[in-house]
Chains A and B, each alone.
Chain A
C-alpha cells in the first residue's frame, strides 16, 4: 500500500464569520491549493467534510459547489458526514483514495457554518444524532459530558479543578493561534465560577459554536518532493477508524471511549509505534472531560490518571507530551466538519516546523477526532518527512 503525504494545508479564521458554508469552503480550499502549489483542475478527488449544511443553512450538494468554485473539474467529489468526526473521516477517505491508487492528488476541505443559529437550535441539530430513546428526553451532547464528568470524578477521585485546568491550558495555547476563535487566557477561578451548563460542567468546560473551514492536499509519498521540498510535507504513517454504540448508556464502561481505543490500536499498528512515541497530539476537547478520556484511551496515561497529567503540566506546551497546542476545540472553536481537518492542519504545522510561537519539538504527531459522544472516531498518526 502506498504511503500518503500531506503537501499543503490551510485553515480559515475560526469564529463568528459573515461568510456562508460555500464561501468558507472555497476560502480554505483556495489557500490549500496555493500552499501546495497546484491548481484546482490538478485535483483528482475532492472530499468535503461537513455534518449538516442542509440542516444549518439549507445548502446541500456542497462538494459539487466547491469543485465548481475552485475549478476542480471534473474531479470525483463526495461529502463525508460522520457528525463531529466528519473531518477525521474525511482524512480517512482522502488517505484511502491515494493509498489505494484511485487518486494521485486528493484535496479534503472541511467546513461548517453554525453561528447564525441560536445556541438552542445548534444544540438541537447536533443532538439529532442521538437515538430516539435519548432524543425524547432532551439529551444534548453537553449533557452527555456532564453525566460522564460526574462519573469520572466519582470513580477516579479526581478533583473538579482538574477539568478546569484543561480549559486554562487550552485557552493559553489558543492565544498564539491566529486562527483561533478565542485568543484570551482564562484563569481557573473564571472557569470554576462560570455559569453552570451541565452539572458539574460550566460554560468554560465547553467549546463554542463556530464557523470555519480547513483544507489538506494529499499525494503519494513517492512524489511529494515533486510538489514541495522535503521537510515541507508530512506523512500519514498510521490511521484507523472505529465505531462505538449509538446508544451511549449501552457501553460497558461509560468512562471509556471504545472507538478511541479501537481506532488508535489500528493506527499504532499501521505506524509501527506505540503511544510513548508520540511527541504532540491534538485531541477532540469539545468538552474538557473528553481530553481526559482520550488521553487515557489512546494509551498516553493509565485509566483514571489522565487528570493527574494535566495537573502536573505533562500536557502543557512545554511538557513531556503537549496536547492541543492549537488551543484545541475549546479555544480554537469547533465548526463541526472542519475540526478533524484543523487538527491535522495543526499536526502538519508542527511536523513541518511552521507552528510559529506554538512550535514544539516533534517528529511524530497524533490527531484524534471524535463524533457524537465517542460514537465514531478517527485516529491519525503523522511523521515528519525529515
Chain B
C-alpha cells in the first residue's frame, strides 16, 4: 500500500495470514471456528516459512483475467519441530522466472512464498471485485 499522505511509497509488509487456534492447530485460510471446534487465538505469517510441493499442474485453459498458462501448486509448510498439528498447506500460483514463464517445479521441491500485488485481473471474471483481495503469494523454488 502507498502512503498517500506523506507522498512517499512506504510498502507495508504483506502478511500470508494463517490462523492459530487454542488446540495448537493452524489453518490456511483462517476460519471463524477451527478444527474440532477450536477457538482462534492468533495469527501466523506463513510468509516466514518454506514449503514443499505436494503436487502441481499447469492449466492451459484459464478463466478471464488469469495468466495463461497458469502453473499451480499445492504446497505444505515446514513449520518446524515445535508444530504437531494437522499439515498446513496452501494452493497458489508458481512464480515466474526472469523471462516471465512459470518456474518448473516437481513433487518434493522446496519453495518459498513471494508476494504479488495482483494474481489475476479483478473484475474480469464473475466474482465481484470488491468482495475479496487479489494480491497474494506465489511459490518460488528455493535455490
- A136 near B119 (CB under 8 angstroms)? yes
**Given the complex, which residues of B lie within 8 Å of A119, measured CB to CB?**
61
Provided the pairs A120-B63, A197-B60 are in contact, do residues A148 and B126 lie with their beta carbons within 8 angstroms? no
**Given the complex, which residues of A lie within 8 Å of B125, measured CB to CB?**
124, 127-128, 135
Report A144-167 CB contacts with B as 1/0, cut-off 8 Å. 001111110010000000000000
Provided the pairs A133-B136, A151-B54, A154-B55 are in contact, do residues A248 and B62 lie with their beta carbons within 8 angstroms? no
Provided the pairs A124-B125, A250-B89, A252-B86 are in contact, do residues A140 and B62 lie with their beta carbons within 8 angstroms? yes
**Given the complex, which residues of A lie within 8 Å of B89, measured CB to CB?**
249-250
For chain B, residues 62 to 97, give those with C-beta under 8 angstroms from any C-beta of chain A: 62-67, 70, 72-74, 86-87, 89-93
- A133 near B29 (CB under 8 angstroms)? yes
Specify which of A121, A127, A137, A254 lies most central, judged by the most chain B CB atoms within 10 Å of its CB.
A137
A16 at the interface (CB under 8 A from B): no
- A254 near B54 (CB under 8 angstroms)? yes
Residue of A nearest to B61 (CB): A197
Provided the pairs A146-B59, A147-B57, A198-B58 are in contact, do residues A139 and B91 lie with their beta carbons within 8 angstroms? yes
A153 to B74, CA, bound (A): 16
A196 at the interface (CB under 8 A from B): yes
10 pairs across A/B with beta carbons < 8 Å?
A120-B61, A132-B133, A134-B91, A136-B120, A137-B70, A139-B72, A139-B91, A143-B59, A146-B57, A151-B54
A247 to B73, CA, bound (A): 14
Residue of A nearest to B92 (CB): A137
For chain B, residues 35 to 63, give those with C-beta under 8 angstroms from any C-beta of chain A: 54-63
Report B104-143 CB contacts with A as 1/0, cut-off 8 Å. 0001000000000001100001110001111010000000
Q: Which of A123, A200, A249 contacts B61 (CB 8 A)?
A: A123
A365 to B35, CA, bound (A): 36
A147 to B89, CA, bound (A): 14
- B127 near A135 (CB under 8 angstroms)? yes
**Given the complex, which residues of B lie within 8 Å of A197, measured CB to CB?**
59-61
A184 at the interface (CB under 8 A from B): no
Query: Count of B residues near A, CB < 8 Å?
Result: 39
| B114 CB to nearest A CB, Å | 13
- B55 near A148 (CB under 8 angstroms)? yes
Q: Which of B54, B61, B87, B136 contacts A137 (CB 8 A)?
A: B136
B103 at the interface (CB under 8 A from A): no
The 7 A-B residue pairs with the shortest CB-CB distance in the complex, in nearest-first order: A146-B57, A138-B66, A124-B63, A132-B132, A151-B55, A143-B59, A249-B89
Q: Which of B29, B55, B93 contacts A138 (CB 8 A)?
A: B93
**Given the complex, which residues of B lie within 8 Å of A196, measured CB to CB?**
58, 60
Residue of A nearest to B93 (CB): A137
- A136 near B60 (CB under 8 angstroms)? no
| B137 CB to nearest A CB, Å | 9
- B136 near A140 (CB under 8 angstroms)? no
**Given the complex, which residues of A lie within 8 Å of B60, measured CB to CB?**
195-199
- B55 near A140 (CB under 8 angstroms)? no
- A124 near B126 (CB under 8 angstroms)? yes
**Given the complex, which residues of A lie within 8 Å of B92, measured CB to CB?**
137
- A249 near B133 (CB under 8 angstroms)? no
Residue of B nearest to A248 (CB): B91
**Given the complex, which residues of B lie within 8 Å of A135, measured CB to CB?**
125, 127, 132
- B126 near A125 (CB under 8 angstroms)? yes
A334 to B2, CA, bound (A): 47
Residue of A nearest to B55 (CB): A151
**Given the complex, which residues of A lie within 8 Å of B59, measured CB to CB?**
138-140, 142-143, 146, 197-198
Report B7-33 CB contacts with A as 1/0, cut-off 8 Å. 000000000000000000001110000
For chain A, residues 99 to 134, give those with C-beta under 8 angstroms from any C-beta of chain B: 119-121, 123-125, 127-128, 131-134
Provided the pairs A146-B57, A147-B57, A249-B89 are in contact, do residues A124 and B74 lie with their beta carbons within 8 angstroms? no
- B57 near A150 (CB under 8 angstroms)? yes
- B74 near A138 (CB under 8 angstroms)? no
